[in-house]
Amino acid sequence: MLRLRTGALIAAAAIAFAACSGAATAAPSAAAPSQTPVVAPSGSTAPASVAPSGGTPVNGGTWIFGSASDPATLDAILIQDGESFRIAQQIYETLIKLKPGSSSVLEPGLAKSWDTSPDGLTYTFHLQTGVKFSDGTAFNADAAVYNVNRWKNLPAALQGDDYYDVTVFGGYGANSLIKAVTKIDDATFSMTLTKPKADFLTAMTLIPFAMQSPTALQAHHADLGSKAPTNDYWQKDPTGTGPFMFSEFVPGDHYTIVKNPNYWDTANAAHLDKIIFQPIAVSANRLTALLSGTVDTIDFVDATQLAQIQSNPTLQLITRPPLDIGKLAFNQTVKPWNDIKVREAAAYAIDKTALVNAFFPNGAGTVADSDLINNMPAYQANAAISGFDLSKAKSLLASSSCPPPCAVTFWYPDSVSRPYMLDPKGEYEAIKPMLEAAGFAVTPNHKPWHGGYLTDEANGVYGLFFIGWIYDYADPADGPGLFYATSTADCNGVKEPTPHNCEFGEDNPAVAAAMAKAISEPDAATRTADWQAAMLLINADVPAVPLVWAGSSLASTIHVHGYIPSPTQSEYFNLVWKDAGS
Amino acid sequence: MLKYIVRRLLLLIPILFGLSLFIIVFVHALPGDPCSSILGEHTSPERLAACRQGLGLDKPLYEQYFDYMNGLFHGNLGTSATDRVPVLTEFVARFPATVELSLAAMAVAIGIGVPLGIAAAKRQGSVFDNVATVGSLIGISIPIFFLGLLLAYVFGVWLHWLPTAGRFNLRIYDFSKAGTNFLLWESLVINRNIPEFLDVVRHLILPAIALGTIPLAVVARITRSAVLEVLNEDYVRTARAKGLTNRRIDRRHVLRNAMLPIATIIGLQTGLLLGGAVLTETIFAWGGVGSWLFQAAVDKDFIVIQSGTLILAILFVLVNLTVDVSYAYLNPRIRYS
């Protein structure tokens, strides 16, 4: 989950928030030693809309990008928010990249090829040669080993800030999934894992696992953490090998990167001379800034603005393929949701088409029927719940342990707008009469998103609630693999005798076993089949009502070309160019 | 006078102690904490607990308070939980933007509000007076976010006269060399670049009007009532009877005596603007302290809220002290002891 930095919420001003997104992973191939680029099963490879090429690219110019907030950090391994991802993607590079516009197809990055050992534990990376960081120091196996060791043995001052490091590698030192990092020669190194991880290669495309200059990190005392006054690494000198390099950061005002004149991959050198990211928290004012010519491109367009942009001949809409899921979830440990008939009744009672048409207009979202997005390889239509059927909902509820009027509490969050949940209160008000028509007696309750809602939800306090997910990569391991995983923690302070799931109370051993098999399966095709089997079991338990698959959109002047939107926001700005004189 | 100033400054200590205690209790009484903002959806209770432990939020409140005060006494205002940037660093970087905006807004408020209030008082009961009174009532009542968006749309999108975001034209100018972030000063005094200065002024106009409208209305109303009160004083009647010109009466007797309440309200409004430009800064993408504190409040970034508010409280007290000291200049009868 890329953290969505919430920003200005000003009542009636149609405020939108900052944002999010993610990065990538896909099922890798592995079993046999593989040479060169691994191409994962094609997921969503085609972008939904691409800024028109507009002819021959023009070099030069300044592009002003209206973002939603400042980056939170640019020390790559600590990055977890969308705005930091966006900038880091331009100044840093990973060993493996995602193909532009894809959420799962892998391409060489700083590694020109890689091999996997037959046991799936050791990965050997063959590095590009002649690559230099923007500070002039060499990128080689020593630099790569330094970076990987930093992930594995993250300094104490930084621990806890590294969301993706912990999520992918599980911990530090002996607790890390990384067992050993070994330099083989100047252009080759290997990583050995403690156990197979099927999505390891795709996880390596995540920008937190980018290569940074050891010299710059040390010179700015980045390992001392944020409390050290000498650590000004990311604000003054974030140093990578990418097509752009840092120029200036004025907090709250702008972040500037300029073309790297010594970029190693000359065929993919940047067209633009300079990119300036200007944070504009209010979505209405981002659009105003675009219309007034203050900025060239804006991100996170409101659903209500889509029609206005589409009808303006001076603008273009750039839409990312959906990779977000919004849902109405149940906690099976809270009565009456422990009864599957009650959950099924609620699922059949909701007219999702009406809901999506009302709250995600102009194609901002599509009706969902699964935790998986319909562009993922493992997706299959939900066989357990066929769709809206009020009479079926009524009869299920009548025969359940909670006959009508079945009293339930419906939780929705305040002070938030997420891509998959643009208007939580409005959506609640739309769903309430649908549930009441089936025989539920609904009592609303709400809390601020960061004012207790997320914490209570994670601790398993709510029985019926809104929640959703923005995938970091198009793999079920990053969705259901997280949602329905069991934990050893107590839920809401209640002592749990065995590992369990706090959030949804989904403690079906068959589901846990099926997911464990899928997550560790190295063969892509088998893995897809495993996930399909696991999803059949999950859907049969009806842990939630999937409501909407949503993406996000950018708007730009028609003078901007070459922008390839990515569902995971892995977007490469070296491909972007502007009309001369624009 | 010096003794008075020192005593007022010493009074800051108990004020800040009390304020720090109030803020920390108030902030922690709000539901939620920064960990939900940091970890997002579908986190586990273990990671939430680890995050809270890392930030010291698992300790009793009194212990957190002592840790915080201990840091303050050692000159450490803390570090943002969400951005990992020291509070003082971020404040210093953003404060110049807020100062420029606040001063520009006060220039609008004083430049228009004072003459308007005087003119209305001197024409009491006239159409002009009634229009000014109704206008100032509207000015006080209009929501800033509405006015801000309206101004941006009319002058930015329809008329294309003025920019709607940021502090200068990022395509043309570069303020990275001096790095003071006081752009009016830099462009005019350091760079001596008039087009650059005018560009900064153009960017200031809309946010300054949006932010200055309420103080303008307040200043106009206070000025009107203060001037009306002085106009009815015996010494004004005497001056008029002595045959002094209206201009001389206004300058020497009316304005001088009416300035005390006006100066008080200007001081209070300036202090409020320094920390209260939240909506204006957010709407016009103005990288100042207000938008920063607002983001911190949304993210429940306790340390930023605590330290940022404390710094603003100190500034507020200092601004008001300056106003109090200015009384002695405005009215020599006032003596401080």
Q: What is the pLDDT of residues B122-148, one digit of tens each?
A: 888 888 989 988 988 888 888 888 899
Average pLDDT over residues B263-271: 83
A82: tokens are 């969308």
The chain A residue lying nearest B55, using CA atoms, is A160
d(CA A206, CA B244): 80
Nearest CA to A570 among A107, A207, A145? A207
Which pLDDT does position A44 carry in this prediction? Answer: 37
Which pLDDT does position A439 carry in this prediction? Answer: 96
User: Are A160 and B279 in contact (CB < 8 Å)?
Assistant: no
The chain B residue lying nearest A501, using CA atoms, is B44
User: Are A8 and B291 in contact (CB < 8 Å)?
Assistant: yes
User: Are A160 and B171 in contact (CB < 8 Å)?
Assistant: no
Which pLDDT does position B80 carry in this prediction? Answer: 86
Which pLDDT does position B250 carry in this prediction? Answer: 84
Average pLDDT over residues A112-136: 94
Confirm or reject contact between A251 and chain B (CB < 8 A): yes
Which of A3, A80, A282 minimises the CB distance to B282?
A: A282
B222: tokens are 């206070």
Which pLDDT does position A11 carry in this prediction? Answer: 28
Neighbours of A33 (CB within 10 A): 12
Residue type, A293: G
When scoring A278, A288, A461, A502 by the number of chain B Cβ atoms within 10 A, the one with the most, hence best to mutate, is A288
A527: tokens are 């893995």
pLDDT (tens digit per residue) in B41-70: 777 777 788 888 888 888 888 888 888 888
ipTM over 0.85? The verdict is no
Of the pLDDT bands very low, low, confident and very high (cuts 50, 70, 90), residue A50 is low
pLDDT (tens digit per residue) in B287-314: 899 888 888 887 888 889 889 888 888 8
Pairing of strands A188-193, A178-185: antiparallel
Which pLDDT does position A398 carry in this prediction? Answer: 96
Taking all residues of chain A, what is their mean pLDDT, rounded to a whole number? 86
Which of B37, B49, B157 minimises the CB distance to A450?
A: B37
Nearest CA to A82 among A16, A19, A143, A154? A19
Residue B202 pLDDT > 80: yes
User: Are B31 and A13 in contact (CB < 8 Å)?
Assistant: no
Q: Say what percent of chain B tops pLDDT 90.
A: 28
CA distance B196 to chain A (A): 16
d(CA B220, CA A75): 51
Neighboring chain A residues of B84 at a CB cutoff of 8 Å: 72-73, 78, 161, 225-226
Ordered by where they begin, the domains of chain A are: 322-551 (3.10.105.10)
d(CA A410, CA A206): 36
Which pLDDT does position A331 carry in this prediction? Answer: 94
Q: Which residue reads 């066989």 in tokens?
A: A383
User: Are B48 and A455 in contact (CB < 8 Å)?
Assistant: yes
Of the pLDDT bands very low, low, confident and very high (cuts 50, 70, 90), residue A51 is low
Which pLDDT does position A29 carry in this prediction? Answer: 31
Taking all residues of chain B, what is their mean pLDDT, rounded to a whole number? 86
Residue A13 pLDDT > 60: no
Which pLDDT does position B67 carry in this prediction? Answer: 87
Q: What does R_g of chain B's alpha carbons equal in angstroms?
A: 24
When scoring B53, B90, B298 by the number of chain A Cβ atoms within 10 A, the one with the most, hence best to mutate, is B298
Of the pLDDT bands very low, low, confident and very high (cuts 50, 70, 90), residue A19 is very low
When scoring A2, A4, A10 by the number of chain B Cβ atoms within 10 A, the one with the most, hence best to mutate, is A10
- pTM of the shown model: 0.83
pLDDT (tens digit per residue) in A300-341: 888 888 889 999 999 999 988 888 999 999 999 999 999 999
Residue type, A239: T
pLDDT (tens digit per residue) in B15-40: 888 888 888 888 888 777 888 777 77
User: Are B37 and A3 in contact (CB < 8 Å)?
Assistant: yes
What DSSP state is assigned to residue A233?
A: H
Nearest CA to A281 among A107, A70, A445? A70
Neighboring chain B residues of A163 at a CB cutoff of 8 Å: 38-39
Which pLDDT does position A42 carry in this prediction? Answer: 35
Domain with CATH 1.10.3720.10 in chain B: 93-330
C-alpha distances out from residue A387 to A329, A351, A352, B286, Å:
16, 8, 8, 48
d(CA B170, CA A278): 9
Higher per-residue pLDDT: A23 or A499: A499
Neighboring chain B residues of A292 at a CB cutoff of 8 Å: 152, 156-157, 160, 163-164
A509: tokens are 């051993």
Residue A468 pLDDT > 90: yes
Confirm or reject contact between A281 and chain B (CB < 8 A): yes
Confirm or reject contact between A415 and chain B (CB < 8 A): yes
Higher per-residue pLDDT: A227 or A155: A155
Q: In this complex, how many residue pairs, one in chain A and one in chain B, have their CB atoms less than 8 Å apart?
A: 211
Which pLDDT does position B320 carry in this prediction? Answer: 80
Most confident residue range from A342-356, A490-504, B168-182, B183-197:
A342-356
User: Are A490 and B294 in contact (CB < 8 Å)?
Assistant: no
CA distance A164 to chain B (A): 11
User: Are A252 and B152 in contact (CB < 8 Å)?
Assistant: no
pLDDT (tens digit per residue) in A267-308: 999 999 999 999 998 888 899 999 999 999 999 888 888 889
d(CA A94, CA A361): 37
d(CA B61, CA B59): 6
Show Cβ contacts of residue A495 under 8 Å, excluding neighbours closer than 6 positions: none
User: Are B166 and A72 in contact (CB < 8 Å)?
Assistant: no
Give CATH for domain B93-330: 1.10.3720.10
pLDDT (tens digit per residue) in A374-405: 988 899 999 888 889 999 999 999 999 999 99
The chain A residue lying nearest B159, using CA atoms, is A292
Show Cβ contacts of residue B179 under 8 Å, excluding neighbours closer than 6 positions: none
